[in-house]
Amino acid sequence: MNSLVNIAVFGIVGAVIMAALIGLLLVLGGRGQGRGPQTVFGAISLVVLIAVPALAAVNLRSTAPGTGFGPVFLVAFGVALVICAVNIAFLPLVARRAAAGRGEELAAGTRLSPALLGGGLLVCAVLGLVGAGVGILAG
């Protein structure tokens, strides 16, 4: 049960942080400030996507000493999955806002695709591996 609590707590915290970052990007991106907000958003997102799963893995190792790589990876993967799900859920909103900012109309076929979801799952697995590696080394 401890693993599920870690996934829920750290996943929700990471999701809230990502939603706030997306909101800031939407607000700052509409002011015509160039590529600066997107670059900052990308850097902060990368830090959040690496740090939050790693913190969940470290927390699991500290509360359950001797936990192997498998459970630690699953916790880090679950947290990364929750955070990435928020990013993917907000993707249509960001795409509509970006198209409106350029004065274009969003294409009717712009929606989530299996390739996007598969790529997101692969990214989450890599982030889970990184988080689990940090958790094993630090815990």
Which pTM was predicted? 0.83
Task: Give the chain's domain count.
Answer: 1
| pLDDT tens digits, one per residue of 95-112 | 777 777 667 776 655 677
pLDDT at 52 over 90: yes
pLDDT at 28 over 90: no
Determine the structural domain holding residue 118 and report its residue range: 2-138
Long-range CB pairs of 24-31, under 8 A, 24+ apart, other chains included: 25/94, 26/93, 26/94, 26/97, 29/97, 29/98, 29/101, 30/97, 30/101
Q: Residue 135: is it exposed, middle or buried by C-beta count within 10 angstroms (0-12/13-18/19+)?
A: buried
